[in-house]
Structure 1
Amino acid sequence: MKIITKLEEQIQALKLSISNLDKRILFTHWSKYGQKRFAAKDDELNFEGGVKLCQEAGGQIATPTSIEENTALTKLIKSDGMAYLGLNDRKTEGTFQDISGSPVKFISWAPGEPSNDQADKDCSVITSDGTWSVVLCTGSYTIICQFTEY
């Protein structure tokens, strides 16, 4: 009986993995650094839509933790475009955290950022030059998801 239960658990895990891979097929642009793969699609979403998209594909919205990862992200952004990052100050104004609530260790803010000219600018974006800015979370920007290789 234990063998059957174990096999059923493995089958469920495989089904979930296949489901995640099916959702990743929709991503058309990929970049890699270290153990992370970054993926983007051509359409744009608001921040919550991006978080959901990445979670459904088995990843999370991209949050660079080094200059090298930041550079890998810029390869996925159109020259005049921006992409959401998994950093926000929704919990405490002016204190940016990653999507899991951990403090941000690596930053690449553009000069004058993070600006606090509007209290409701709680999300962040990365531009094609690798600098970050704060924006409203309701805007539509490219979504870059990150996946960790095992």
Structure 2
Amino acid sequence: MAVLKHYLCAALILIQFVPDLLAASDSSCPALAGVPGTPGHNGSPGRDGRDGRDGFPGLKGEKGDPGIGAQGPPGKMGPAGLIGPKGEKGNSGLPGGDVQHTLTADVKYLTERLTVVEKVLGFQTFKKVGKKYFVSDGLVANFENAQIFCSDAGAKIALPRNEDENKVLVSMNNIPKSMFIGATDKEKEGLFVDMDNQPLTFTKWRTNEPNDYKDQEDCTVAEITGGWNDVPCSAKVNVVCEL
């Protein structure tokens, strides 16, 4: 009985210290890891958070259309720039009076030429040589009537001033085969002058002409050969005027 009593007392003492032993074992003895469980489902999304004060700036938007505004007042005039180098002297212009004179002369010349052309077109036949026109209506007359006819047309009896003009004039010959030319020696025998009483600068006399046959030949004709001959002014031949 004494032994049993001894073991019983020891058991009671041991029971008093069991809680302390278990606590000590939990804090000092490592436990084995268990088998991982199945992952749970995702929870519901949380509420939107507040905008941060120092957040990143957003992307730059597109450029807007230009506005329509009233034009502002002009600014103040800027300071004057530096004076550049002096240019070369230009050509001298015509004095005002000279320009006016030149213009007047040109208008007068064109008017005269137009008048001449209008007169030329009034004849049956005309030929141009240089700046001159030889014109004819087929008239046959003496020298006096030839002068009147040409004068009434604002012209003169034809007078060649060079070989070319003489050839063109002769090409207008008809029957009779000679025509008056504007040269006479009525004032002084042997000295033939034009209708302005100026000495001739070109002649085409035939051999032994002029000869003033019977002292009656004071007028001049051009024959079909191109040669000139003095004849009586009363002779009736072709009349050709010049403009």
TM-score per shorter chain, which class?
0.7 to 0.9
Return the offset for 1:78. 2.3
CA contact (8 A) 2:126 2:136 kept: yes
Amino acid at match of 2:159: T
Task: Report the counterpart of residue 216 of structure 2 in structure 1.
Answer: 120
Task: Report the counterpart of residue 33 of structure 1 in structure 2.
Answer: 129
Amino acid at match of 1:100: D
Return the offset for 1:43. 2.5
Runs (5+) with no aligned partner, structure 1: 1-12
Return the offset for 1:117. 2.3
Please, which of 98, 102, 112 is the counterpart of residue 198 of structure 2?
102
Return the offset for 1:79. 6.8
Amino acid at match of 2:183: L
Task: Report the counterpart of residue 53 of structure 1 in structure 2.
Answer: 149
Aligned alpha-carbon RMSD (Å): 2.2
**Which structure 2 residues correspond to residues 1-150 of structure 1 after superposition, within 5 A?**
21=118, 25=122, 27-78=123-174, 81-147=177-243
- Structure 1 segments (4+ residues) deviating >6 Å: none
How many percent identity over aligned positions? 28
Query: For the residues of structure 2 that align with 1:23 and 1:130, how far apart are their CA atoms?
Result: 24
- In our comparison, the structure showing a higher alpha carbon Rg is 2
- Superposed CA deviations along residues 41-78 of structure 1, whole A, max 9, x for unmatched, are 22201101111111111111111110011011011102
Amino acid at match of 2:170: T
Amino acid at match of 1:48: E
Normalising by the residue count of structure 2, what TM-score does the alignment of the two structures yield? 0.50
Aligned length: 131
Relative to total residues, which structure has the larger strand share, 1 or 2?
A: 1
Normalising by the residue count of structure 1, what TM-score does the alignment of the two structures yield? 0.79
- Superposed CA deviations along residues 56-105 of structure 1, whole A, max 9, x for unmatched, are 11111111110011011011102751000000000000110011100011
CA contact (8 A) 2:134 2:158 kept: yes
- Superposed CA deviations along residues 6-61 of structure 1, whole A, max 9, x for unmatched, are xxxxxxx9xxx59x946962x32211110000011222011011111111111111
Amino acid at match of 1:104: L
